[in-house]
Structures are given as structure tokens and as C-alpha cells.
Amino acid sequence: MTAGALSLILVAAVLHATWNLLAKRSDAGPEFVWLVGVTSVVVCTAPLVVLFVITTPSFGGLVPLFLVGTALLHLGYYLTLQRGYQAGDLSLVYPLARGTGPVLAMIGAVLILDERPSLLVVGGAGLIAVSVLALAVEGGRPSGERATPMRAVMLALLTGLFIASYSLWDKYAVSTVAVSPLMLVWASALGRGTLLAPRMWARRRVVRDLWARSRREIIAVGVLDPLAYLLVLVALRFTPVSHVAPAREISILFGILIGSRFLGEQKAGRRLSFGGVMVLGVIALAVG
């Protein structure tokens, strides 16, 4: 992996962990996902217009198909992630989701994109898999007076499946179909805003209340989320997905530390040790 790609991914990891803290703090469901999606559409529209004026990116062939596909995959990801945060701790759900995704993405990259990772990369994936299993087992143990619901673990693992799916889909979109990364990010946000609109209209009072009490968090996530993923997509244009997807998960450590420091979550020490093993796996995947 080049220094440029790694730099993009590290910056994206910090932004990603930050917006996940804000999403967890909101303690909201689909309404938060919808409001963030609408905010991201507003944020991305002006740069997209400039992009069209300057470069006139392609919008024919398979481009519409990949724009719709990324919108659907990201909608599933955001809804599942937000429900996971409602069911369990940030320091559990975040590393489980982010740790599962790269292993599945690497397997998919081999089977679908014909990438050939080295033994070091495979070993790194094994370390991540073991850490994910340890976190899942630890997540079901009591913490104080309350046990973490297994539902949170399952939602985190399902989120990891969505992460792997959109990583492979978007990698093919930006590197083979030549879809603009900015257009892909915009389509993801527009899909959330459009597909959830009927339900949000029926729940408009809840949406208004959430906006009133969490406006700052919604706007911040609406900016940080597309910016973080835009950096990842730029890296994907010239870097194998079997390297990028795992390297992104350096944010696992940030997520565990944030959950402990800002949310007062328990068992952060054990989770941090598991996260450290994950990061060793990430390093192996990044340099292998």
C-alpha cells in the first residue's frame, strides 16, 4: 500500500470513529439515518455540480446500476448499525462491525475480484477473525448488573456483512466502471433520503423532535460521514480492496477508546486488548 493511500485511510478512520460517537449519542433509529442522509445530500450537491461543470463525468452504461446498488447497500448498513447502537455499547458494536467487514471483504475480493493476497494478508485476516470471535463471546457476559443483549452482537455482525458488500461493490464501481467517488457518495445519501422519506413523513413529529434536540450531531455526521468515505473511495481507485478494507479498521481502537472515555462504557480494557489484536491483523493486511 502506498503512503498516499495509507494517509487517506488514517484520516478517514479518525473521521469515521468521530461520527460514530455522535451517532451512538443520538440514541435514535431510522429518523437519525434519514436526517443525516438529507444533510449529506445538501453538503455533497454543490461539489457535485462543480464536478459536472469541470469534468463532465460519465453517467451512462453501468453507472446508474452501481449508483442504485450502493444506495441500497449503504441504506442497509446505516439502519443496521444504528439499531446495533440502540442495543449495545459503542465499544462492542463498533469493533465487531468494523472487524468482521474486512475479513469478509478480503474473501470476496479473492472470489469475485480475483485478487491474490499474500500469506501475511491471510494471517492478518485470521487475527481479525479471532478477535471478532473473542469480542462476540465477551459481549454476552454480564457487565455490572446488565448483560449485553446478543441482539447487539448479531446486529454488529450483520453490519460487518454490509460493510464487506459495499466495499466490494464500490471498489468495482470506482476502479472498473469509473464512477466518480463523489457521485457514489452523493447517491448513497440520496438513496437514504428518498427510500426512507415515506416512513419519515408518517413519523414527522418524531423527526422534528429529533432535529430539535440533536441538530448539531446530525449536521456534524452529515458532513463527516461522506467526507470520510470519499477519502476511502479515492484510495480504492488505485489500491486493492483486500488492503484498503482492513486498513480502514484502525478506527477500531478509536471507537473503543471513545466509548470508554466519552460514554463511560464498561469492559473497555478487555475490548481494547481484543481491538489491539485486530489492529495487528490490520497492519499485516496493509503491508502484506
Strand partners for 142: 147
Per residue in 40-58, pLDDT tens?
999 999 999 988 888 877 6
* pLDDT reading at 145 higher than 50: no
Query: What is the pLDDT confidence band of residue 205, given thresholds at 50, 70 and 90?
Result: very high
Picking from 21-30, 153-162, 216-225, 262-271, which range would have the lowest pLDDT averaged per residue? 262-271
Residue of higher predicted confidence among 198 and 104:
198
* pLDDT reading at 249 higher than 70: no
pLDDT value for 284: 77
The residue ranges of every structural domain in the chain are 3-287
Cα(46)–Cα(22) distance, integer angstroms: 25
* pLDDT reading at 144 higher than 50: no
pLDDT value for 122: 76
Q: Nearest to residue 207, comparing CAs of 39, 29, 72, 65?
A: 29
pLDDT value for 147: 46
Picking from 46-60, 116-130, 191-205, which range would have the lowest pLDDT averaged per residue? 116-130
pLDDT value for 241: 72
Per-residue HEC secondary structure of 4-27 comes to HHHHHHHHHHHHHHHHHHHHHHHC
- Can you point out the beta strands (E) in the chain? 142-143, 146-147
Query: What is the pLDDT confidence band of residue 156, given thresholds at 50, 70 and 90?
Result: confident
Query: What is the pLDDT confidence band of residue 132, given thresholds at 50, 70 and 90?
Result: low
3-class state of residue 88 by DSSP:
coil
* pLDDT reading at 165 higher than 80: yes
3-class state of residue 223 by DSSP:
helix
* pLDDT reading at 168 higher than 50: yes
Report whether 261 contacts 108 (CB < 8 A).
no
Task: Kindly state the percentage of the chain with pLDDT values over 70.
Answer: 81
Residues sharing a CB contact under 8 Å with residue 263, sequence separation 6 or more, in sequence order? 21, 24, 25, 89, 90, 91
Question: Rounded mean pLDDT of 219-238?
Answer: 90
* pLDDT reading at 136 higher than 80: no
pLDDT value for 268: 60
pLDDT value for 24: 82
Instruction: Give the predicted TM-score (pTM) of the model.
Output: 0.79
Query: What is the pLDDT confidence band of residue 175, given thresholds at 50, 70 and 90?
Result: confident
* pLDDT reading at 137 higher than 70: no
Residues sharing a CB contact under 8 Å with residue 48, sequence separation 6 or more, in sequence order? 182, 183, 186
Cα(234)–Cα(171) distance, integer angstroms: 10
Mean pLDDT (the chain) is 81
